[in-house]
Structure 1
Amino acid sequence: MGLERTARLAAGAGMLVVGCLWAASAWPAGPETGAVLHMHGVASVSVLGGLLAFATILSLLHIRERGRWTRRDREQAAALDALRGAHDRAEMLLNAERQIIVTWDARTEPVIEGDVGIAFEGRPIAGAARRILAFGSWLLPSDAGAIEAAVETLRTRGTGFRLALRSQAGRSIEAHGQAVAGRALLRLRETSDERREIAELRETLDEARRGLAALASLLDAIPQPVWRRNREGGLAWVNMAYVAAIEAPSREAALEAGTELLDRPAREMVAREDLARRGQHPVPRLSAVVAGSRRVLDVFETRLETGRVGIAIDVSELESVRADLQRQMNANVRTLDQLPTAVAMFDDRQRLIFHNAAYRQLWDLDAAYLEGRPLDGEILDHLRAERKLEEHADFRAWKQGVLAAYRAVEANESWWYLPDGRTLRVVADPNPQGGLTYLFDDVSDRVNLESRYNALMRVQAETLDTLMEPVAVFAADGRLTFANRAFATVWRLDAALLEQRPHVEAVIEVCRRLAPAEEPWLDIRDRIVGLESRDTLACRLEVVDGTVLDCAAQPLPEGATLLTLIDVTASVNVERALTEKNEALEKAAQLRDSFVHHVSYELRSPLTNIIGFTQLLGDESVGALNLRQREYADHIMRSSGALLVIINDILDLASIDAGSLELQHEVVDVRETIDAAMRGIEDRLAESSLSVVLDVPADIGSVYADGKRVRQILFNLLSNAVGFSRAGDRIEVMARRTTTELILGVRDHGLGMPPEIAAQVFDRFESHTLGTRHRGVGLGLSIVRSFVELHGGRVHLETSPGAGTCVTCSFPLADRDPQVEAAE
């Protein structure tokens, strides 16, 4: 009975092991299990193997008690050893991870095996194994209710389940229940570490995905086409710039069509250049059609484990800029060749890389020698050997000082004095890329001019300083830049003030102590510092000591102003004396004119009475006269008439001087006016036996003038001719008309006048006999000139001793002249 019982226990244990193996193989794979499914199955076998080992031990104990070994017993012993080994392996697999196995059957209590610390965090709790099934004591309430319902369903119906639970301590527990060999099996396994690893892996995967998305967005944002090829060379991915370059509707369309940006020869060249770049060979530029236009590209493609990646950079504008830069460099070279300044450029190895024509001409160097790109030091040695550089006591030290400019940071300026007398301004400017640029400027002429200019300025300053007249120069900012000794002496300016270059306001403030008049100084200040008044100023300053200065402000170039002063005290005093004398003379002339005018009016009234009574006596209306009385009456009549003419002339001159004489213009017949004037002197012509010859054209016509004054003019001319003619002489009266004027003239054939007398005949009260008995008051020709000038005409006198005298009067023809109107 004992053997049979032991055999039955062994068979039951074997069935339990088979069931566990089936359950492990049938375990469904979830996302959390992954590669550990095999371990789960092994763990299940180990759990059930423990039960089998327990049964085997009971059998062995029973056999040992029996002490009887048979052949069958030995076989069972061998099987028992095998089961013991299986039990050990199952226990090892059961303890390989933290888990709890709970099994139920219909009649016995549940069996709990494994690490109960996963539920109570390793704390020693009494009856911990039994409290495992009190799920509410260590699981979250919701998870506890779920597993209790699932276990109940498993035990009653054999329905398996798989749940993910959370303990009150925050651990992750996986619960797996299933029916095995008529028993209910519950497996609780802690998955906290696995979940953490899976979460970390998921986070790493998400971060990688986000990085790839950001990289893809970045590649889509750049304007250069970028692509990736697979191992077979086909396009696996392209950015949006690539899509735009090949003018594809979308990225998917471009990848599906496999449209290439470069043609096959270009792609092959790129593949070859990828290898060539590893050998440091230059990459040639390619031409391709990008978005419908031909562009120049720099293409770079490199190999990866999964294929190739490449990028195409558009350098069309760079090529254009490079071409423009080359053209500008060529233009600069041509320009530098035209400059008079010698230019030479040396690289960082001090070799000549460029020179213009002025450099070659400056040193008279052979072009072939310069084309050989000599060193800077070699050129200096060559120039020294040719005696083209100044002699130095230590040429080596001087040369090292020149070449030290290659290590300088800023440009260096120096002066070279050549043996032939030339002076060079040498600028050594370091290049940013290394090397040096020399600028040789021949300033010999400028130095000579500057020296001459400085000498001239010193001479001018000394000259101005020795002048007796005060002179000062103010700059554009109104400050005193120069003042000679005379200026400082006149205005009593001390040397300390002059050295401070005072402003014009300060100078005026000092000067006004001696010349207090404000207005001249305001004008002077405006001319010096004013922005609008830049013209010449002349004013007069009166000093308190009686000195009078004429001040002149003359604008100078660059906004400067020259102020000069001249002492005119003596001339002002003379001018004042002359002015006072002139005023006295004018008052005397006014007194004379007033006296003449008054006397003339006072004489005219009694003279009129004399003439009237004389006419009464001559007419013998009051009684007969004897012959002598009649002669006396005629003599009184002629003398009174002459006196009346003189008085009228004096009144006319007085009216002319006062500006009150106005001409009465009318249409005047020229021939009748001449005849009327001749009738006024017929008695004098007969008395002197003179004849008058008229030279008047028949068509002389009329003139628009004052007829009375024209007759008076002719009468005075005829009277003057009669007075200076000898008995039997001829007097000629001439009249001519031109398009612009009427000419009247009277000529006598008397003695004529010398030049000194002819210059005075038109002056008032100038009378000369010239060997004749005629001597007037000297008003006739003066009246003639005054009346002619009132008409806007002029008088011309022609005379010489022994040739007679001719007086010609020209009258301008007015617009209302009858002859002019008739001609029109």
Structure 2
Amino acid sequence: MRVFMDQDITLTSLEILYSISRELAASLDLRKVLANILTLTTENMNVERASLVVIDIHGKPVDAAIMYNGSLIPHTVDQLLDVVTSGLAGWVVKNQKSVLINNTQQDDRWLVRPNQEIVDPARSALCVPLMAQEVLVGVLTIVHREVNFFTQSQFALQQAIADMAGIAIRNAQLYQEVEHAHLRYRDLFEKSIDPIVVTAMDGMIVAANQKTFETMQITSGEVIGRNIVDFQVLPEKVIDNLFEQIEKNKSLIYEGSLLNAKAEKIPVEVHVSIINLQGQPSLQWIFRDISERKNLDLLREDLSAMIYHDLRSPLANIVSSLELMKEPIVATKDTSMIQLLEISDRATERMNRLISSLLDINRLEAGQPITNKKMTDVEKLMDESIETLHTLAKSKQVMVEKMVFSKIAQILVDEDMIRRVLINLLENAIKFSSEGDKTAIGAKANGDMVTIWVEDHGPGIPPESVDKIFNKFVRLHGNSFAKGLGLGLSFCRTAVLAHGGKIWVENVSGGGSRFILTLPAAAIN
């Protein structure tokens, strides 16, 4: 490569810049890029010593290269920090301006470091900032023993080289960041406890982690190139338009089954998202094994069925016995005995409602229709619910207000089932109320629907629980919430949906919650 001299400046400069641009574009390895910059600089400027320090956005050194007589020499982190915080390079980093010093002994910015003048006395110095998109990425310093060695033409050329060097360093840094990101992703990909599969946008499998092969009991050759749908049992809601839903929403979560080599079904929760893989949109599928959760749900179902069958008959005997005892106890006019009888009646009624609700949940979830519908007056159901919970409200000193704003059409429903829905909601409202609070149960006509609501001024429902509070066995935790099985609201939703209605909850401003349900009004012949 030709050494730059003052004569024939334009031609030589263009040749040098072209040659340097080719050299810097040849590699994206940061260490090689730094070495190339120093080699090209020392050769073209005919100097023995040069240093290049790479700095981060906070001005801290992160890498460097130091060259002396054509060889790279070792350095320490403390040396780098000293270079960018003091002396000439420190001044350039702070001011982001290039500097040409003809005689270092006459410039205060030149800092003589320990033993430097003895080993290699510097007399001329040139220091330029390396910029990339107006961001400082490094500082380049070159020195020569002779005074007035560097010319203005060399200074201009070095600034041009510095511009290319800054871009080359930034490109190498970006490449390094991408490589590190890929390594982190690959590490997470392989070490994940869940099966992870990467596919093209049409579902063709291009990669899978080790957990996938272990779970499905198959080899890489049996998976790669197949369609992800071949290894799944899809739920009805996505079976016809799975990929359309993913592309529309950018991600999708659903429950299904993963098939292993023996065609056994593994219950999974599937998380699908669009990712960028080597510049191409791809799909990442994460399969979370929910076998234990499903087994637990099945155990709860069995427990619910057992409770129903094992308690139904004994409860019937208790109710019959209380009926037989009622007349002689009332005849005694013993107040305490009559109160105990009333407490027993209320307890058995509540137990009977709970068991009936368990039966209804199992029956309705199994797809059985509601057969005993009849024309029912909404206000009558509200009055009966208030009367049933009168003692509970009185004991907590909570007032229950009935609110009816218009003439309400009758509804064609299973009267006992909807009565239990209202009792359940109103009982919760009273339980969550403090002494002296007021709760309300109301109804109004709403087109061809009847809207009923129950409102309290208790702790309200946490926002994160609003969507899941109607799920089976879901209970809110905390001292403000009553303990239970988590079946009451699940029964309410199941019963209302089975009648063609809707149910939801809203938090009331100032505290409390409002449960709202709608039921179709009966058609008038």
TM-score in terms of structure 1 length: 0.29
TM-score in terms of structure 2 length: 0.44
Larger radius of gyration: 1
Which structure has more RCO (C-alpha within 8 Å, separation ≥ 6)?
Answer: 2
